[in-house]
Amino acid sequence: MILIKEKLSSQGYRMTKPRQAIFANLDHEPQSVAEISDRLKKQKIKIDKVTIYRTLTQFVKLGIVEETQFKDKISVYELADQEHHHHVICDNCGKIEDICLDEKILVAAAKKNSSFKIKSHHLEFFGLCKKCC
Amino acid sequence: MILIKEKLSSQGYRMTKPRQAIFANLDHEPQSVAEISDRLKKQKIKIDKVTIYRTLTQFVKLGIVEETQFKDKISVYELADQEHHHHVICDNCGKIEDICLDEKILVAAAKKNSSFKIKSHHLEFFGLCKKCC
DNA sequence: GGTATTATTGCAATTGAGTTGCAATAAGTC
DNA sequence: GACTTATTGCAACTCAATTGCAATAATACC
């Protein structure tokens, strides 16, 4: 088990059954709210999607979950307890894979070339997966 | 004037007043449909936002316009007749600036590290602009 | 130039992700 | 176990974006 209960209670939040179930269904693969909702339904766990939204938003704030948006504009969520990495998304079937890249040089260049105080970045690749090639 | 009329007619499309007005209000700065709509209203040009959406979608297909999505999930559009570049977005006020970066090495690394046939990528930076620092 | 053909427009209605208000419920506390 | 208050679920709502369709306007043809 991970430190999630402590993370919650240290901020005055409570560990509830819905939060436990949602956490148990999170993954290192990014998932949409609809996908998480479907997984829960299959397990006959009844949780309103509003609760899923609120829980995920809270998990993001607590650093438990990472949120990303892709082209189709829906948010996807994945466990944050992993190394910083990026995604490759198939233009045809939507399949998402992780990819590890060292973008330090690029971020350094961006900091140099911009008047902004750069804090974070998004980097995603698009193309065709093996099946769709 | 640019080759837009030819691009349209070569595909069997027509150059219309709304398309002309929308094109005239495009920029090298990314703008949302709402922003384009406001600009047109100020010029007392009455164009339904449905038409703006359809026109922009078509312009994207013709390679006249580039579409991007940012964190807040709304689409922004800018003229595509420019060098490949990236955006820096202010976390506080939403200001967007362009930034030029050479990401060739990174894209090459991604191609090497992935089983996907990589075709394109999105790269954006977030932080604070001078005013919001 | 005038007319026929058909792409395009504008309106109204719809979709779908995500949010909000609020009463009912359930954690954690004493 | 009773109390306090965070949390849940429902219904209603927001807002970007899409769709169907009748009315309109741009090109082609005479």
The residues of the protein lying within 7 Å (CB) of strand D read A 8, 12-14, 16, 18-19, 46-48, 50-51, 54-55, 73; B 9, 14-17, 32-34, 49-50, 53-54, 57, 73-75
Q: Which nucleotides of D are covered by protein (CB under 7 A)?
A: 6-11, 16-20, 25-28
Q: What is the per-residue pLDDT for B92?
A: 79
Each residue of A30-55: pLDDT tens digit? 999 999 999 999 999 999 999 999 99
Q: What is the per-residue pLDDT for B2?
A: 53
Number of residues written out for chain B: 133
| Three-state secondary-structure class, residue A91 | coil
Domains plus CATH for chain A? 4-79 (1.10.10.10), 86-127 (3.30.1490.190)
DSSP, res A48: -
Has residue A1 got a pLDDT over 70? no
- The dihedral over CA atoms of B99, B71, A125, A49, expressed in degrees to the nearest 10, equals 180
Closest chain B residue by Cα to residue A104: B106
d(CA A51, CA A33) in angstroms, rounded, equals 10
pLDDT band at A2 (very low <50, low <70, confident <90, very high): low
Q: Which residues contact A16 (CB under 8 A, 6 or more apart)?
A: none
Each residue of B23-37: pLDDT tens digit? 999 999 899 999 999
Indicate if CB(A74) is under 7 A from strand C. yes
Of residues A45 and B4, more confidence is placed in A45
Residue B71 in contact with partner chain A when CB distance is under 8 A: yes
Is A102 in Cβ contact with B103 (below 8 Å)? Answer: no
Q: Which amino acid is at A99?
A: I
A28: number of Cβ within 10 Å: 11
Q: Which amino acid is at A31?
A: Q
Residue B39, token pair as written in the block: 């600009």
- The dihedral over CA atoms of A38, A81, A68, A75, expressed in degrees to the nearest 10, equals 20
φ, ψ of residue B89 to 5 degrees: the values are -120, 130
Strand runs labelled E in B1-133: 31-32, 65-69, 75-79, 86-90, 96-99, 117-128
Residue A124, token pair as written in the block: 């995603």
Q: What region does B12 belong to: left with phi over 0, alpha with psi -120 to 50, or beta?
A: left
